[in-house]
Amino acid sequence: MAQQEREPASDGRTDRSLTMSRAMVEAIAHEMREDDDVFYMGEDVADYGGIFDSTDGLLEEFGYERIMDVPISETAYIGAAVGAAQAGMRPIAELMFVDFFGVGMDQIYNQMAKNTYMSGGSVSVPMVLTAAVGGTYNDAAQHSQTLYGTFAHLPGMKVVVPSTAYDAKGLMHNAIRDDDPVVYLFHKRLMGIGWMPAPDGPKTGVPEDEYTIPFGSADVKREGADVTVVTLGLHVHRALEAAESLADDGIDVEVIDLRTLVPLDTETIADSVAKTGRLVVVDEDYRSFGVTGEIVASVVEAEGGLADLEAVERVAVPDVPIPYARPMENEVIPDADDVENAIRDVHASE
């Protein structure tokens, strides 16, 4: 598990538990104290503290100049972050819901992601684009997506998706210090917001000291010998729930949390499948042309992967927009039962 993490300093109280949002904010506050060039821009990030608590408490310490409310002009302010980053600052720009990417995507993928390449490396764009992702609370088709595949498909951005407070803090430190643009997607349901109760998993022990989690290192959140589940974000917890339930039936499930989609840790996945021979890929994004297909293909392509592989299933949102009413939303967003069924299927096959 996550061998690469820097050990917390000895005075770090690792028994302290934080919600994911507190852990993220702690990393941001630390980086802002260390480096005057770090600042945060977004809608409702100042007085409100971020609709999903992403900046909660930061205004008090850093003031309006560094925790900046901006007009509802995603193109202008995300592009302004690109310009400020190229001028040597380290902006964090928040897109309130990832679903809004469509109004600012040009600045994101044609400039933020490409300027380093198009300049032959003479320019770098050290910024973080944060966005809330995910459904499960009936906010319908324009406020419930994860869009993991959309961002991971287009080159030039690193894509981070934390599933626990511990990971969220370490990954955020790394994101802000990274000289490349990083898209940091946090799942609303994991944040520990008062009005949207989180499941148990994301609230974890978090060292008070800074630490980084390198990108491209998937984390084996549960070891197991029979079936490999590859997932990320909220669905790490749903997969763990399924795994616990299956343990009673003697099915031993390994759960891999990708943590970053770009870079993608295909080695950890391939090693696990070499052991189990059975793969279930779970995500909350649309099924086709996205994350699940890529993971399957990466296993098939790995040295010996095709031979190792005995059974595969994908569990994702079937290719429909997210519906509003509960029975339908519950149907399309995979839950622990869906994951459990898929694991049983691949386990039973052959």
Partner 1 sequence: MVSVNELQSMYENMVTARHYEERLQEEYLEGKQPAFDISAGPIPGELHLAAGHEASGAGVCQHLRDDDTVTAPHRPHHIAIAKGVDLKRMTAEIFGRETGLSKGKGGHMHLFDPEVNFACSGIIAEGCPPAVGAGLAAKKRNTDSVAVAFLGEGAIDQGAFLESLNMASVQNLPVVFVVEDNDWAISMPKHRITDVANGARRADGFDMPGERVDADDAVAVYEAARAAVGRARDRNGPSLLEVQVHRRMGHFMGDPEGYRPDEDKAAAERRDSIERLEADLRGHDVDDETIDDLRDRAHERVEEAIEWAKDQPEPEPADAYEDVFVNPASGVTDSEPSVAETGGDD
Ligand X SMILES: Cc1ncc(C[n+]2csc(CCOP(=O)(O)OP(=O)(O)O)c2C)c(N)n1
334 scored as a contact of its own copies (CB under 8 A): no
Size of the site for ligand X (CB under 6 A): 6
Angle value at C-alpha 52, between 238 and 182, nearest 5 degrees: 80
CA–CA dist 238, 199 (Å, integer)? 9
Among 1, 72, 103, 348, indicate the residue that binds its own copies (CB under 8 A).
103
- Which positions from 40 through 59 interact with its own copies, judged by CB under 8 A? none
Give, as one character, the DSSP assignment of residue 264.
-
Choose the one of partner 1, ligand X, its own copies, none that binds residue 207, judging by a C-beta under 5 to 8 angstroms depending on kind.
Answer: none
CB closer to its own copies, 68 vs 312: 312
Query: Could you give the C-alpha distances from 77 to 63, 87, 94, 164, in angstroms and in order?
Result: 18, 15, 9, 29
The answer to whether residue 347 is catalytic is no
- Min separation Cβ 139 and ligand X, Å: 11
Q: Is 78 in the site for its own copies (CB under 8 A)?
A: no
Residue 47 makes CB contacts below 8 A (sequence gap 6+) with: 59, 69
Instruction: Report the residue number, 46 or 246, with the smaller CB distance to ligand X.
Output: 46
Interface residue with its own copies, options 1, 9, 247, 297 (CB under 8 A): 297
C-alpha triplet 82, 87, 90: angle, nearest 5°: 65
Coil, helix or strand at residue 79: helix
Give the C-alpha distances (Å, rounded to integers) separating 176 from 18, 165, 321, 336. Answer: 20, 17, 32, 33
Closer residue to partner 1 in complex, CB, 38/240: 38
Query: Is residue 100 near ligand X by the rule CB under 6 A?
Result: yes
Dist. CA 81–CA 307, nearest whole Å: 47
> Of residues 2, 51, 220, 300, which one binds partner 1 by CB under 8 A?
51
List the one residue from 18, 20, 93, 96 that touches ligand X (CB under 6 A): 96
Token duo for residue 319: 């290719």
Residue 274: phi, psi to the nearest 5? Answer: -60, -35
Taking the complex as a whole, how short is the minimal distance between the CB of residue 227 and partner 1, in angstroms? Answer: 14
- 172 binds, options ligand X, its own copies, partner 1, none, Cβ within 5 to 8 A by partner type: none
| Binding residues for its own copies restricted to 105-164, rule: CB under 8 A | 105-110, 113-114, 117-118, 140-142, 149-150, 152-156
According to CB under 8 A, which residues from 317 to 346 bind partner 1? 317-321, 323-332, 334, 338, 341-342, 345
Contact 124/112 with Cβ under 8 angstroms? no
Tell me whether residue 168 or residue 280 sits nearer to partner 1 (CB atom): 280
The answer to whether residue 39 forms part of the interface with partner 1 (CB under 8 A) is yes
Helices (H), the chain: 20-34, 58-66, 74-86, 105, 115-118, 148-153, 165-177, 234-247, 266-276, 291-301, 305-308, 326-332, 336-348
Choose between 48 and 137: whose C-beta lies nearer to its own copies.
Answer: 137
Which x/- pattern, by CB under 8 A, does the window 107-126 give for partner 1? x--xx---xxxxxxxxxx-x
Beta bridge partners of 317: 286
16-43 burial, b at 16+ Cβ within 10 Å, e below that, comes to eebbbbbbbbbbbbbbbeeeebbbbbbb
Distance CA 239, CA 153 (A): 24
Residue 76 beta carbon to ligand X: minimum distance, rounded to whole angstroms = 12
User: Min. distance of Cβ 78 from ligand X in angstroms?
Assistant: 11
- Residue 202 interacts with partner 1 (CB under 8 A)? no
Please tell me which residue in 143, 173, 237, 347 is annotated as part of the active site.
143
Pick out residues in 14-43 that bind ligand X (CB under 6 A): 43
| x-marked contacts with its own copies along 306-325 as a string, rule CB under 8 A | x--xxxxxx----xxx-x--
C-alpha 228, offset from chain centre: 20
Burial class, 318, CB count within 10 angstroms (exposed 0-12 / middle 13-18 / buried 19+): exposed
Residues designated as active site: 143
Residues within the interface to ligand X (CB under 6 A): 43, 72, 74, 96, 100, 103
